[in-house]
Amino acid sequence: MKNVTVSQSCGKWYVSIQTEREVEQPIPKGGAVGIDMGVARFATLSDGTFYAPLNSFKRHETALCKAQQAMSRKIKFSNNWKKAKARIQKIHSRIGNARRDSLHTVTTTISKNHAMVCIEELQVRNMSQSASGAADAPGRNVRAKPGLNKSILDQGWFEFRRQLEYKMEWRGGWLLVVPPQNTSRTCPCCGHGSADNRRTQAQFMCVECGFEENADLVGAINVLRAGHARIACEVSGIKSPAAGTRRSGSFRFKPGLSAVGISGI
């Protein structure tokens, strides 16, 4: 045992125990898979599996709004105000728990069943920047953007990637990050790449060969292909077309090296 942390949050006590032990070189199970991240579907796998958005914040938004209004009507620092405040904290903690739980379920399932996971490099920070722009170059869709921003930040894509990275490493697998260029508009059937292939957000239809499929699934298939291409280039020593991106993290425990396992709360 390395250390124990006792903490309190929203009237509940938590104990977190960190242990260290020798582990065998893990042997990953399953094959390779590509993942497309989206708003309508949180994650789509290249084998066709998909996960619904977490949206926990939206679900709790009404309750939170009501609780906040109730608190604003109370006299500051009175007993009723304190009670109202505690109610708000409770809702926040519920939101956090729901998000953490669904993220962990998804990342555990994916890392348990795949030896290699390919995922797009997402520029969430850029995507969630203000749309209003500068005074000399005002942004477009200024009103639509805050909704999208909230949705993106609410998705937990960064946390998803972070969990996937260490869980793949735990099980001896790889997480491969590929550049997002053209993964949504290239036909996995004939290779034709065009923005016209994406007439709607949800549907992909190739203007060249007529191949039709759900757009997120097409994205996931292309992400997997990009991952395979990257490995092929690295093995044969050719400079990868995906230069500038990185292979994520160090992927394997060296034999004999002890790994630190952290037991959750």
Q: Which residues bind Zn ion (CB under 5 A)?
A: 187, 189-190, 192, 206, 208-209, 211
47 is annotated as an active-site residue? no
CB of 178 to Zn ion, least distance (A): 20
Nearer to Zn ion, 20 or 212 (CB): 212
Nearer to Zn ion, 206 or 242 (CB): 206
CB of 207 to Zn ion, least distance (A): 8
CB of 190 to Zn ion, least distance (A): 3
Which of 22, 36, 121, 213 is catalytic? The answer is: 36
Report the alpha-carbon distance of residue 209 to residue 148 in Å, rounded: 33
216 is annotated as an active-site residue? yes
36 is annotated as an active-site residue? yes
Contact 232, 241 (CB under 8 A): no
Nearer to Zn ion, 89 or 194 (CB): 194
CA 8 to chain centre: 27
Q: State how far the alpha carbon of 206 is from the alpha carbons of 102, 194, 229, in Å.
A: 34, 8, 22
| Coil/strand/helix, residue 212 | strand
Nearer to Zn ion, 110 or 215 (CB): 215
Q: Which residues are catalytic?
A: 36, 120, 216
